[in-house]
Amino acid sequence: MSKKVKPVDGLGSYEIGKIRSAIRLVWQRSKARKLCVARCIDVDGFFKCELCNIKTPKIKIDHITQVGDVDAGFIERLFCPSTELQGLCNECHKIKTKQERATNKKPRKPGTI
């Protein structure tokens, strides 16, 4: 069952999501990201996780400092130098993301579900 979203006249959450996705597509081709990917390739051609040092067929490029919401500093945080990026295996990336989400969880107001 899908939740109906009240239409917004102007910049709403739907538009912000589309903007975020479009900017991230540009970031996928950024020089800093490519440098981080190259840094993670081991001598045998496999990727190596920069956190646990395990070889993996795929790597996820992760911002060491969270990029966060689309706001005034979003682009600067997203397009950071390669030294502020890390290549993580899927398992390390899952753990890091889970920890960040738990840390950023907003407390509920009393009386809300």
What's the pLDDT at 109?
54
List per-block mean pLDDT (blocks of 10 residues) for the chain, which spans 113 residues: 68 91 96 97 94 96 93 93 97 95 72 52
What's the pLDDT at 8?
73
Predicted structure pTM score: 0.81
Sequence-ordered list of residues with C-beta below 8 angstroms from that of 60, at least 6 positions apart, any chain: 87, 88, 89, 90, 93
What's the pLDDT at 113?
52
What's the pLDDT at 11?
85
What's the pLDDT at 107?
61
CA-CA distance, 93 to 106, in Å (whole number)? 22
